[in-house]
A and B are shown apart, each in its own frame.
Chain A
Amino acid sequence: MEVLRIENIAKSYSGKEAVRGVSFTINEGTIFGLLGPNGAGKTSIIRIITTITGADTGSVHFCGEPLNEHSPELIGYLPEERGLYKKMKVGEHLLYLARLKGLSRQKAKEALNYWMDRFEIADWWGKRVDELSKGMQQKIQFISTVIHEPKLLILDEPFSGLDPINTNLIKSEIRRLRDEGTTIIFSTHRMEQVEEICEEIALISNGKKVLSGHVDEIKNRFKENHFEVELSKAENLDISGFGEIIEKDLNRVKLHLDEGKTSSELLLHLLNKGHQVTAFREILPTLNEVFIKQVNAKN
């Protein structure tokens, strides 16, 4: 089921075009990476989805209907720049934010108890926000984003400033929420995290979508027929007629396979030549490589 359908949205601020005709759809229960260099227009797109601003043209459908005043109650948004009311007590603060998302006092309390137990911070209820460390504040901020069980969760650089333990905690929460059916938009420029977490991505550059699709599919699309072979002795390796060697060391070879040749043919050829092959795999480009290549190409 489609949770979000964005069609040809554009937004400009006093003449400067921040978003120029972007479209994509996100299905329920997907972790969707919204990628792009700084200033590409990611935040502008997120602000349109969260109804903070409106698109000049184009449309956004959320759960089958156009964005409306009740949409924010089904969306959880963790902005890159975090902020809380410093003087408020943790419990009151979370309760306040939950109620602004439309939860009744009773329901908000229950949800809050659940999350505070889950994050083992039940005894923080009466603490003032500015008494907490930055990492602790991030936990609070994360709870405030998910407390109303949003259908769509938008996380903008959720791991920035988190220690490895909390990063893992949040990561596993993200996966758990996805498994329970939450759709997640994950905005970042940390590519290794994207590969680890995201299933689908859209790459934004200069206000335009330059690339989108399934992560594996994209990697396949941008593969360059590179293979890595590990064998007992790489010295007298001859692959003429199949391709050329890019890199070679003692028992590992990186090679490029010619158009029209298949990997099986190459492997067969190697075996026939009497090489002892211990590993044979295709080298897919990292998202980072795709990212840099695409962004540079468009500029």
Chain B
Amino acid sequence: MNKLWLIIQREYLTRVTKKSFIIATLITPLAMGIFFVVVGFIMSYEGGEELNIGVVDEAGVLRGKSFGDDNTTFFTTLKIPLEEAKAAAVRGDYDGILAIPPIAKMEIKKYTTYYYSDGSLGLDKRMVIQKRLRNHYRDFKIEELELDKEKMESVDVEIAFQPEPLKEDGEKESSMGAYVKAGIGGALSFVMYMAVFIYGMMVMRSVSEEKVSRIVEVMISSVKPFQLMLGKIIGVGAVGLTQVTVWAILLPLISLMVSFFIPVPDTGVDPAQMAAAGVDQEDIIYQFTLAMNELGELNWLMIAPMFLIFFLGGYFLYASMFAAVGSAVGEDTGESQSLTIPITIPIIIAFYIMFVAIRAPHSTLAIWASIFPLFSPIVMPARLAFDPPFWQVALSVILLIGTVIFFVWLSGRIYRVGILMYGKKASFKELAKWVFYSSK
């Protein structure tokens, strides 16, 4: 036991004290933060150029109101004929002329406006102008047709979908619930998927390094091969937990900081218009609070420990398989590839099933995949937020633990032979033989 502890310590400490590890652990969330800031700036970039646009309103749609400026686009309503306006634009007084031709018929839906310019108009700006034109036309027609504006607006209905429990004392779910749960489920599954790959591969590389550098023979003259393998798996697993924990703390912090840097993108719609269109800014905030509430409402006391169990179970299951493969291969990395593919297939299948699980968490596929031990470490975390029935979680955990014990045992048997086997091409047939070598 003492020796196992020494091995775990070494495996853990040599990794977490490495400069590259510290840098990767701290820099990754920071880099992601910087990435989002940069993306945010790029997405909110408005072309930078300022545009002066002259508006010739032959239809009288604006009714003397201003067209509405924004940060980089300025509109001037011109009370001159279109030809003169164009001439002014040619002289350089305006970057372009927006012409609203007279409206011949009120009872149609489609109208054409014209934009005269030598430069082309960016997609962003075009959409903003189009949107505003639509609103101006709409207001104009409501007045011209003598319609009741309030009645008109009531026609554009919005539907909220509010799930309610059947029984009075049932748990109430907000309309955001399903999205929040799917988000959390997807995130947890994704973490599992990455962790199994990254740290499983780390174990595999480290095992085959020990074999190639021949230190392994010195080691197993002091400790049992199984202790060495287990110590490595646990040590690397602890490294994984450390890294994931640091990220879990840093990422929200950094994303909070990032949100100060990213300017709120201009939707091109001023608040008044938003209100007119029924989009309430307060509504967005309301939805956000709803989502946060929903997050808080989740059964974290169940989700957090269960996630830890599935994290450890999934990691041990796959890391032990990776360790067995690492022990079987030597310098030849091509060999390891052909042996790792069969291990990665269930991981990848589980990852795809996860997408079904977050959309339909109580579907037959999701239920059975979250119980089947090769898939459960990735699929069950996706369902945890959806309150799966107790028996399913319990059955899944029991099966997973049993399978982990079996695979750690199996890998140990392959490992103890593999690490001392040089110059023999490792195939699955060969590995299977090793399992049955006498253990004396």
Q: Which residues of A contact B (CB under 8 A)?
A: 13-14, 47, 50-56, 69, 72-73, 75, 77, 79, 81-88, 96-97, 99-101, 141, 144
The answer to whether A100 touches B433 (Cβ under 8 A) is: no
Q: Which residue of B lies closest to A69 (CB)?
A: B224
In the complex, which residue of chain A has the Cβ closest to the Cβ of B18? A87
Starting from the known contacts A14-B433, A100-B222, 7 additional A-B residue pairs (CB-CB under 8 Å) come to A52-B420, A54-B440, A79-B214, A83-B214, A83-B216, A84-B215, A85-B213
Contact residues in B for A84 (Cβ distance below 8 Å): 213, 215, 218
Find chain B residues with CB under 8 A from A82 CB: 214, 218
Q: In whole angstroms, what is the CA distance A86 to B213 when docked?
A: 8
Whether B281 sits at the interface, judged by CB under 8 Å, is: no
Within 8 A of A (CB), among B340-370: none
Partner of B222, one of A53, A56, A72, A88: A72
CA distance A13 to B224 in the complex (A): 19
A-B contact pairs, 21 of them (CB 8 A): A14-B433, A14-B437, A47-B420, A53-B420, A54-B438, A56-B438, A56-B440, A69-B224, A79-B214, A79-B217, A79-B218, A81-B214, A81-B217, A83-B213, A83-B215, A88-B14, A96-B6, A100-B3, A100-B7, A100-B223, A141-B218
Beyond A52-B221, A77-B221, whether A87 also contacts B14 by CB under 8 A is yes
Q: Tally of A-B residue pairs with Cβ under 8 A?
A: 65
Q: Check: B120 CB closer than 8 A to any chain A CB.
A: no
Q: Mark B7-30, 1 if CB is under 8 A from A, else 0.
A: 100100010000000000000000
Q: Quick check: B218 and A97 within 8 Å, CB to CB?
A: yes
User: Distance (Å) between the CB of A127 and the closest chain B CB?
Assistant: 16
A47, closest chain B residue (CB): B420
CB nearest to B436 among chain A residues: A14
CB distance from B84 to the nearest CB of A (A): 79
> Whole-angstrom distance between the alpha carbons of A56 and B216 in the complex?
23
Q: Quick check: B214 and A100 within 8 Å, CB to CB?
A: no
Are A101 and B222 neighbours in the complex by a CB distance under 8 Å? yes
Number of B positions contacting A (CB below 8 A): 24
Best-surrounded residue of A52, A84, A86, A101 (most CB of chain B within 10 A) = A52
Residue from the list B7, B218, B437 in contact with A77, Cβ < 8 A = B218
Q: How far is the CB of B62 from chain A (nearest CB, A)?
A: 74
Q: Main secondary structure on chain B at its contact with chain A?
A: helix
Give the CA-CA distance A86 to B221 in the complex, in Å: 19
Chain A residues, CB < 8 A from B222 = 72-73, 97, 100-101
Complex Cα gap A253–B225 (Å): 60
Interface set, chain B 212-253, CB cutoff 8 A to A: 213-224
CB-CB under 8 A from A101, the residues of chain B are 222
Q: Is the CB of B440 within 8 A of A55?
A: yes
Do residues B218 and A144 form an inter-chain contact, with CB atoms below 8 A?
yes
- Minimum CB–CB distance from B140 to chain A (whole Å) comes to 76
Residue B439 lies at the interface, judged by CB distance under 8 Å to chain A:
yes
Closest partner residue, chain B, to A52 (CB atom): B220
Chain B 399-440 per-residue mask, 1 if CB under 8 angstroms from chain A, else 0: 000000000000000000000100000000000010001111
Which residues in B have their C-beta under 8 angstroms from that of A97?
218, 222
Contacts of A87 in B (CB 8 A): 14
Q: Which residues of B contact A54 (CB under 8 A)?
A: 438-440
Query: Binding site of A, secondary structure by majority: helix, strand, loop or mixed?
Result: loop
CA A13 to CA B10, docked complex, whole Å = 32
Closest A residue by C-beta to B3? A100
Which residues of chain B are near A141, meaning CB under 8 Å? 218
In the complex the two chains form, is B215's CB within 8 Å of A85's CB? yes
- Report which of A83, A99, A100 forms a contact with B217, defined as CB distance below 8 A: A83
Chain B residues within 8 Å of A51, by CB: 221
In the complex, what residues of A have CB within 8 A of residue B3's CB? 100
Complex formed: what's the CA distance from A81 to B6 in Å?
24
Q: With contacts A82-B214, A88-B14 known, is A13 near B437, CB below 8 A?
A: yes
Within the complex, the shortest CB–CB distance from A109 to chain B, in Å, comes to 15
Q: How far does the alpha carbon of A53 sit from the alpha carbon of B218 in the complex, in Å?
A: 13
User: Complex: how many Å from CA A50 to CA B440?
Assistant: 13
Q: In the bound complex, do residue B218 and residue A83 qualify as a contact, i.e. CB atoms below 8 Å apart?
A: yes
Q: Which residues of A contact B437 (CB under 8 A)?
A: 13-14
Q: Which residues of A contact B216 (CB under 8 A)?
A: 83
CB distance from A38 to the nearest CB of B (A): 13
Query: A79 vs B210: C-alpha distance in the bound complex, in angstroms?
Result: 14
A126 to chain B, nearest CB (A): 14
A184 to B223, CA, bound (A): 21
Complex CA distance for A56 and B420, rounded to whole angstroms: 17
Partner of A99, one of B6, B221, B440: B6
Give complex CA distance A81, B220 in Å. Answer: 14
The smallest beta-carbon distance between A40 and chain B, in angstroms, is: 17
Please, how many angstroms separate the alpha-carbon atoms of A55 and B439 in the complex?
Answer: 10
- Flag if B438 contacts A100 (CB, 8 Å): no
Taking CB atoms, residues of chain A closer than 8 Å to B221 are 50-52, 72, 75, 77, 79
Task: Write the chain B residue with the least CB distance to A55.
Answer: B440
Q: How far is the CA of A86 from the CA of B216 in the complex (A)?
A: 13
Instruction: Say yes or no: A100 contacts B219, CB within 8 Å.
Output: yes
> B219's closest neighbor in chain A, by CB?
A100
Chain B residue at minimum C-beta to C-beta distance from A145: B218
Q: Complex formed: what's the CA distance from A287 to B324 in Å? A: 43
In the assembled complex, the Cα of A53 lies from the Cα of B413 at a distance in Å of 12
Contacts of B218 in A (CB 8 A): 77, 79, 82-84, 97, 141, 144
* Chain B residue contacts of A83, Cβ below 8 A: 210, 213-218
Chain A nearest CB from B312 CB (Å) reads 26
Chain B residues lying within 8 Å of A72, measured Cβ to Cβ, are 221-223
Contacts of A69 in B (CB 8 A): 224
A281 to chain B, nearest CB (A): 44
Compute how far the CA of A119 lies from the CA of B214 in the bound complex, rounded to whole angstroms. Answer: 24
Closest to A14 in B: B433
- A88: chain B residues within 8 A (beta carbon): 14
- Give B436 Cβ to nearest chain A Cβ, in Å: 9
Docked pose: A287 CA to B6 CA in angstroms: 44
Closest 4 pairs between A and B when the two form their complex, measured CB to CB: A83-B214, A54-B440, A83-B215, A77-B221
CA distance in complex: A144, B217 (Å): 13
Contact digits for B202-217, partner A, Cβ 8 Å, 1 yes 0 no:
0000000010011111
CA distance A85 to B437 in the complex (A): 29
B199 to chain A, nearest CB (A): 19
Write out the residue numbers on chain A whose beta carbons fall within 8 Å of the beta carbon of B420.
47, 52-53
| Contact assessment for A52 and B6 in the assembled complex, using a CB-CB cutoff below 8 Å | no
CB-defined contacts of B7 to chain A, threshold 8 Å: 100
Give B228's nearest chain A residue, CB to CB.
A100
Q: Considering residues B14, B220, B221, which has the most beta carbons from chain A within 10 angstroms of its beta carbon?
A: B221
- Across the two chains, which residue of chain A brings its CB closest to B211? A83
Query: What's the Cα separation between A55 and B433 when bound, in Å?
Result: 18
Q: Closest chain A residue to B227 by CB distance?
A: A100
Please name all residues of chain A whose beta carbon is closer than 8 Å to the beta carbon of B6 when the two chains form the complex.
96, 99-100
